Amino acid sequence: MKKYSTILIIIIVLISCTGSDNTKEQLPLLKISDNHRFLADENNKPFFWLGDTGWLLFKKLNREDAEKYLENRKRKGFNVIQVMVLHDLDHPVNIYGDSAFVCKNVAIPCETTGYKPDNEEAYDFWDHTDYIISLAAEKGLYMALVPVWGSNVKSGDISSEQASAFGAWIAKRYRDRKNIIWLNGGDINGNDSTAVWKALGKAIRTNDPNHLITFHPRGRLQSSMWFHDEEWLDFNMIQSGHRRYDQDDTELAYGEDNWRYVISDYKLQPVKPTIDGEPSYEGIPQGLHDTLQPYWNHNDVRRYAYWSVFSGAFGFTYGHNAVMQFHRATDTDASYGPKVEWETALNEPGAQQMIHLKQLMLSRDFFSRVPDQSIIAYNQGERYDYLAATRGDDYAFIYNYTGRKMDITMGKIRGKKVRASWFNPRDGSWQETGTFINSGKQEFQPPAMVRDGNDWVLVLDSVE
């Protein structure tokens, strides 16, 4: 009996280990879709990027808090976490006081030997980073890593040679992990230290050919302005920023119209996917720096999300002021006047509403979708009255932020008749409104009164 018991124990252990490994392997690599407009996994399944900005995750959270954060985001439908590997070269330490580099030199990572996973005193900076990346993978979350935040390069503390060495080192460290995406840059103009960014991008691509790479630019800018033709840049990223229409002093002067950035990227050759990787955050002052200004809220977050995705983006990144910096009441260096602590902010309305967009986009054929403003027959609208339209072969979505009347051109999708429904971005509910002849013009009035934040999506489906 003792012999059989021993064999049984061994079998149970082997099954357990195999199950754990299989769980990790279930997370597939990401790639660019065949039409170069979207992301897909290695099995050609659609991947709708629903990102969250957890910028200071590695720096400010211990393992217990990282578990809370990642589990919350998993349950809310997020699948990408955007995070800085190195935030501040002058203070490159994490919650345990472990330093990332030797003497502020990114070319010399500070690694310890004899790592013991159950001994906190034996952790180093990179052990902790590894742990969180693995934890994210177990939860089905991809980690979009900014190797070094842009301000550290702008200060002149990192040369092209150092960037190249660090890029090669970090790419080799994580190239075998499937849940990695690379964000070169980090809130920086691409024409600031361009040689450094090109060196870093090239080093990552050379040493990690399997993971996607983009560039995270400064507010009101897009990666395509400098790097669209770079071989290492797989998709474009926009930071539409945190300013109101009247606060925008940039040359483009798009104001809050983040859809304009997406449309301009959509027209470029060669074709590359694009995404708004940092729109206005929930719970942050309009314009960022003056905490006496109104704060952006969940209505604004939804508007940016649907506008950009319906205009051709392959996904969307949400952010909250308190969460991105993991703000605590005891912090003495908080940025942009957060009004709640990060654990409370995890459940703010905007964070809970993003899953509805993801579910809507995955509910219909994903890869056939194109932006199509010709669906709007009259009065496309300006500013908050703007209507954004997208369609596949047998469906169409029209986003309306203010709940105003819409005149729609029928016949843009297949079939003699279409079934019309209203989708509510606030709670994900549906209301059927009837069946219509799929020709001519048709007027649609969303439910409830006309006002900002009474947003609806008109959904037209071919009856056939």
CATH code at position 444: 2.60.40
Which domain-ending residue is among 302, 331, 362?
A: 362
Query: Is there a domain that residue 18 lies in?
Result: no
**Both 209 and 231 in a single domain?**
yes
- Number of domains into which the chain is organized: 2
User: At which of 311, 334, 362 does a domain end?
Assistant: 362
d(CA 55, CA 86) in angstroms, rounded, equals 10
The one-digit pLDDT tens for each residue of the chain (464 residues) are 444 444 433 333 333 333 333 334 469 999 999 999 999 999 999 999 999 999 999 999 999 999 999 999 999 999 999 999 998 877 777 887 787 777 678 888 777 765 555 555 557 889 999 999 999 999 999 999 999 999 999 999 899 999 999 999 999 999 999 999 999 999 999 999 999 999 999 999 999 999 999 999 999 999 999 999 999 999 999 999 999 999 999 999 999 999 999 999 999 999 999 999 999 999 999 999 999 999 999 999 999 999 999 999 999 999 999 999 999 999 998 999 999 999 999 999 999 999 999 999 999 999 999 999 999 999 999 999 999 999 999 999 999 999 999 999 999 999 999 999 999 999 999 999 999 999 999 999 999 999 999 999 999 999 97
User: In this structure, are residues 182 and 213 in contact, taking their beta carbons and an 8 Å threshold?
Assistant: yes
Q: Cα 396 to the chain's mean position, in Å? A: 24
Residues 6+ apart with CB under 8 A from 288: 242, 243, 336
Give the strand pairing for 142-146 and 221-222. Answer: unpaired
**Do 441 and 377 meet the contact criterion of CB atoms below 8 Å apart?**
yes
Query: Quick one: pLDDT at residue 117?
Result: 54
Place of tokens 């940016």: 304
Statement to judge: residues 319 and 177 lie in one domain:
yes
In this structure, the answer to whether residues 328 and 453 fall within a common structural domain is no
Residue with tokens 């001994």, as numbered in its chain = 119
Tell me the whole-structure pTM to 2 decimals. 0.92
Strands (E), 71-162: 80-84, 101-102, 105-109, 142-146
Phi, psi dihedrals of residue 9, rounded to the nearest 5°: -60, -45
Report the residue count for the chain: 464
The values of phi and psi at residue 106, to 5°, are -65, -15
Q: Cα(254)–Cα(268) distance, rounded to whole angstroms? A: 18
The Cα 80–Cα 183 span in angstroms is 12
- Is residue 25 exposed (0-12), middle (13-18) or buried (19+ Cβ within 10 Å)? exposed
Pairing of strands 315-318, 376-378: unpaired
Whether 8 maps to a domain, the answer reads: no
Cα→Cα distances 168→23, 141, 199, 206, Å: 28, 24, 10, 8
Cβ neighbours, 10 Å, residue 334: 14
* Paired tokens of 308: 């950009």
- Using CB atoms within 10 Å of the CB of residue 164, give its burial: 0 to 12 exposed, 13 to 18 middle, 19+ buried: buried
Tell which of 362, 380, 405 closes a domain.
362
182 within 8 A of 166, measured Cβ to Cβ? no
Q: Rounded to an integer, what distance in angstroms lies between the CA atom of residue 277 and that of residue 304?
A: 11
Instruction: Write out the residue range of the structural domain in which residue 198 sits.
Output: 30-362
Q: Is 315 helix (H, G, I), strand (E, B) or coil?
A: strand
Helix (H, G, I), strand (E, B) or coil at 121: helix
- Cα–Cα distance, 306 to 297 (Å, whole number): 15
Same domain, 185 and 257: yes
Rounded Cα distance between 287 and 112, Å, is 43
Rounded CA-CA distance 249/255 in Å is: 9
Helix (H) or strand (E) holding 262: helix 258-266
Q: Cα(411)–Cα(395) distance, rounded to whole angstroms? A: 11
317/383 same-domain check? no
Question: How many other β-carbons are positioned within 10 Å of the β-carbon of residue 11?
Answer: 10
Q: What angle do the packed helices 160-174 and 194-207 form, to 10 degrees?
A: 30
The span from the CA of 73 to the CA of 147, in Å, is 22
DSSP secondary-structure letter at 288? S
Asked whether residue 441 falls in the same domain as residue 314, the answer is: no
Neighbours of 18 (CB within 10 A): 10
Q: Look at residue 57 and tell me if it is in a domain.
A: yes
Residue-wise over 103-134: b if at least 16 C-beta within 10 A, else e?
Answer: eebbbebbeeeeeeeeeeeebbbbbbbbebbe
Residues 266 and 143 in one domain: yes
DSSP label at 296?
P
Q: Do 285 and 225 fall within a single domain?
A: yes
CA proximity to 227, closest of 261, 198, 268, 267: 198
Distance, in Å, from the CA atom of 398 to the CA atom of 95, rounded to the nearest integer, reads: 45
Residue 14 located in a structural domain? no
Whether 320 maps to a domain, the answer reads yes
Q: How far apart are CA 240 and CA 258, in angstroms?
A: 6
Q: Are residues 176 and 308 in the same domain?
A: yes
Query: Looking at the domain assignment, is residue 61 inside a domain?
Result: yes
Do 328 and 394 have their domain in common? Answer: no
Instruction: Decide if 409 is inside a domain.
Output: yes
Q: Where are the alpha helices (DSSP H) in 97-230?
A: 125-138, 150-154, 160-174, 194-207, 224-227
Q: What is the CATH number of the domain that holds 250?
A: 3.20.20.80
- Asked if residue 377 belongs to a domain, the reply is yes
Is there a single domain that holds both residue 396 and residue 349? no
Kindly state whether residues 261 and 395 are assigned to the same domain.
no
Q: If you count DSSP H runs as helices and E runs as strands, how many of each does the chain have, helices first?
A: 13, 23
